[in-house]
Amino acid sequence: MSRNMSFMLTTRQIKNRSKTVTRRLGWWFLKSGDVLNACEKCQGLKKGEKIKKLCRIKIISCRKIPLHKISHADCFREGFPDMYPSEFIRMFRKEMKCSMDTEVNRIEFEYI
């Protein structure tokens, strides 16, 4: 059985398949070849709500990288083609409550 990974903030990018990279503060156990269910939301479900699976993804690579090292190309791969790295960093820090120097897990994946 595959694990579920939430894409609550980037559901649109998953649905239109413009997102092929995600950054996480965890998920250090992932390895190349793992298959996951990309879901709209996995936690904080209200009574009666069910997990909504969007698609399945296969992990290509994972690596530890400081948040501030994001490139414009990776903003594109994160599903934000019009966003500058500074804007992405600001958004990520606001949502995840972390610093620019926080090491994040850069996870590259493909759709299956």
Label residue 89 by pLDDT band (50, 70, 90).
Answer: very high
Burial annotation 21-58 (CB, 10 A radius, 16+ → b, else e): bbbeeebeebeeebebbbbebbeeeeeeeeeeebeebe
Which three-class secondary structure state does DSSP give residue 94?
A: helix
- Average model confidence (pLDDT) for the chain? 96
Q: Which tens digits make up the pLDDT trace of 33-78? A: 999 999 998 877 788 888 999 999 999 999 999 999 999 999 999 9
Q: Domain locations in the chain? A: 3-111
> What is the three-class DSSP state of 12?
helix
For the cut 80, the answer to whether the pLDDT of residue 1 exceeds it is: no
Domain 3-111 has CATH 3.90.1640.10: no
% residues pLDDT > 90 (the chain) = 88
DSSP annotation of 28: T
